[in-house]
Chain A
């Protein structure tokens, strides 16, 4: 305190060229900051352009319902004034649907090419996510509402369909007379929706946008989320159990042997994923190596034996063809194969930490009177925690989004959320739902990271 006051009393400290030291220091600091910023600018732009932007834009689809609202503005406006949603809406709403269809159908892009037809087609796909059947109902109605000349591809005017529409539409397709179709519009009426997220946890909107459960036979995602967590946790735990002793050996054995051991760890790591999966299939399938071995080498004993206390007992100790254990194309298969595949992700971080633990600590502990076990538990394990934490986080994060292994060996009850994301992306084209599930995965991983930081501290995380 006294130092500063002395400086202050003598005026600011100056550099050789008369600039106050403080300013000069600030300038040079800023210069070095700019320099380091310029250095990371390229990777930063790279990450922004190729990672954050595309992922962000895809994730934004999980709430985006602007599209359908642009196609059916009048319809959704009418929906707001539809009072009793348990009976069919009035003629105005039927007319609004036809108006929206006709306006959209004529739309052209800047090059004068008609895009309206495809806009309606896309809408049909979107609406089918809310209620089965919308697609064909909409397309059928588009055809009736807007007759097109086959040759010139231009609309025939005047329209053959004139108001009032209600009866005509119901006559054309009786589904227009079903109130469920109209009610399902409620879930789409806002440009931003939580519907995809609800869908991803087996909930949905009803006609008044209240959140309700889906019908029982359509509830699938909760099961899959729970299973994804279960598989990831189990794989992490099994990896830890297997990896800890291996890492310990790697870190403590003499170089000559540990190098050999390291190669055994890395060899599968370098082998193609598919090769390893197929190898497991051959090992574990119903007529695979493991089951065949059980059947042929396990002793088979069957018959009556005179046991003490029990008397004559029929004993069947056979491992026959019917006892073959199903280990592939199910939950067990997914766990076994994923554990093997992810094992190096656990071994390597733990090993790198263990390598840095001086052996003298253990000796010191024992010199001070600890038994080897106690020394190991009190001295060695706490020091290896950063590696264990890193390994667990790494394995868990990789496991939670796993796709290819469950796809190939998961069968009926080994599929994970990644497989469903892929299904929505590829097959049903419901990218909103896929994006919602992706966002939830991302949040789960970030939450895990936060919890880790809170309890163990991210500074303790050491990857190597």
Chain B
């Protein structure tokens, strides 16, 4: 106890000193917490020797970043952001545009911006991971035929029980259209029309009375474990974490998964700008990208990391093969929908309003 108190006192004294002197302090990296932050800690921070990096958690969104930048009192250096926020934040000047020539090329010499699975949306972003929204269930939930497609998620007769779905519109609208028979390549063209959106919501209506909504990433696992729902959408890393680390008996249905980008950005006016850029260069290198998959089954954004992992299987820290748990392998990408963050940045407000109205009425 005494030790704890003295530690707290020291920590308090140090933070006061930092506030007072604004000395060169540790870089602050803001991320999502849980197993994901843990993987970043192990793959990026523990392997970084040229400075200190502190991690704190947040619940997503750019509210805090905007408040910090607009008030001129920036506390955060690096933030881990979702794709649509990576775009609006850069548009608004909440993030700093980075000199792309600083970043390390792939082992074969390809520059970082060409060593990405998507076109780089702007000069603010530094590659992180691919993750996906994907349905899963317990292995013993259904007797006989097992769910294998996105249609099955919407089929309450064949696979009875409630469904766990998140409280915002992205991914689930795409899934609804896909389950309704729209080809993956056409999803955003269809969604761009009023009729297309009506069609998606009509499909959602078919399961509405059987949906349990969640908003925190850990919740779907609770819903499945407690039997509240028979199938649920979840972040693939949450499912994988439980399977790989805790031996949970979950089955992931990859068909119809919606893949999303994840980026690191530097806050405009970051207090430890130089150190933060130095760290970003380290964290985005091919080796660290592959290294993160030691600890979590989120796919690296840089394809040059994949051969590194494949060649060294079993790559996961517990000694199992990781590739089969990755969202962006060829096999899992067959029914994979690449989310279009630009479309969401344009239409997010309206479609989310509609989704909220759909939920509430």
Contact = CB atoms under 8 A, between A and B. Distances in A.
Given A288-B226, A407-B215, A426-B59, 20 more contacts: A121-B91, A122-B91, A128-B346, A218-B354, A220-B353, A220-B354, A224-B356, A286-B227, A287-B228, A328-B228, A412-B360, A415-B167, A426-B63, A427-B61, A427-B168, A428-B348, A429-B61, A429-B62, A429-B63, A431-B66
A403 interface: no
A218 B358 CA distance: 9
B92 A118 contact: yes
A134 B346 contact: yes
A148 to B, nearest CB: 12
B231 to A, nearest CB: 14
A247 to B, nearest CB: 35
Contact of A218 (B162, B226, B353): B353
A18 B228 CA distance: 88
A231 B96 CA distance: 44
B118 interface: no
A436 to B, nearest CB: 14
Nearest to A153: B97
**3 closest A-B pairs by CB:** A121-B91, A426-B61, A118-B93
Interface in B52-95: 59-63, 66, 88, 90-93
A219 interface: yes
B350 A135 contact: no
Nearest to B209: A412
Contacts of B352: 423, 427-428
A296 interface: no
Contact of A425 (B63, B92, B228): B63
A345 interface: no
Given A426-B60, A428-B352, A411 B357 contact: no
B357 A217 contact: yes
Contacts of A128: 345-346, 349
B345 A136 contact: yes
Contacts of A122: 91-93
A428 B360 contact: no
User: What secondary structure prevails in chain B residues at the interface with A?
Assistant: helix
Nearest to A136: B346
B356 A217 contact: no
Max chain B Cβ within 10 angstroms of own Cβ: one of A287, A329, A411, A413: A329
Contacts of A328: 228
Contacts of B215: 407
B212 A411 contact: yes
User: What secondary structure prevails in chain A residues at the interface with B?
Assistant: helix
A430 interface: yes
Contacts of B358: 217
Interface in A316-346: 328-329
A134 B352 CA distance: 16
B24 interface: no
Nearest to A219: B357
A449 B356 CA distance: 31
B211 A135 contact: no
A177 interface: no
Contacts, number: 110
A220 B350 contact: no
Nearest to B360: A223
B342 to A, nearest CB: 6
A115 B69 CA distance: 14
A124 B91 contact: yes
A154 to B, nearest CB: 15
Nearest to B82: A427
Interface string A196-231: 000000000000000000000111100110010000
B349 A428 contact: yes
Interface of A: 115, 117-118, 120-122, 124-125, 128-129, 132-136, 139, 217-220, 223-224, 227, 285-288, 328-329, 407-408, 411-413, 415, 420, 423, 425-431
Contacts of B359: 412-413, 415
Interface in B302-361: 342, 345-354, 356-361
Contact of B213 (A121, A218, A412): A412
A218 B350 contact: yes
B36 interface: no
B250 interface: no
Contacts of A415: 167, 356, 359-360
B201 interface: yes
B212 A329 contact: yes
Nearest to A130: B349
Nearest to B63: A426
A283 to B, nearest CB: 12
B151 to A, nearest CB: 23
A405 to B, nearest CB: 13
13 contacts: A121-B88, A128-B345, A132-B350, A135-B346, A136-B342, A220-B356, A220-B360, A223-B361, A286-B162, A286-B228, A428-B348, A429-B63, A429-B88
Given A287-B226, A287-B228, A426-B59, A118 B91 contact: yes
A133 B201 CA distance: 20
Contact of B91 (A115, A129, A139): A139
Max chain A Cβ within 10 angstroms of own Cβ: one of B62, B345, B352, B356: B356
Contacts of A218: 350, 353-354, 357
Contacts of B356: 220, 224, 415, 420
B71 to A, nearest CB: 9
B102 to A, nearest CB: 15
A426 B58 CA distance: 11
A429 B89 CA distance: 10
A219 B211 CA distance: 21
Contact of A285 (B91, B168, B216, B226): B226
A188 to B, nearest CB: 15
Contacts of B212: 329, 411
A125 B92 contact: yes
Contacts of B346: 128, 132-136
Contacts of B211: 412
A132 B349 contact: yes
A124 B62 CA distance: 16
A219 to B, nearest CB: 6
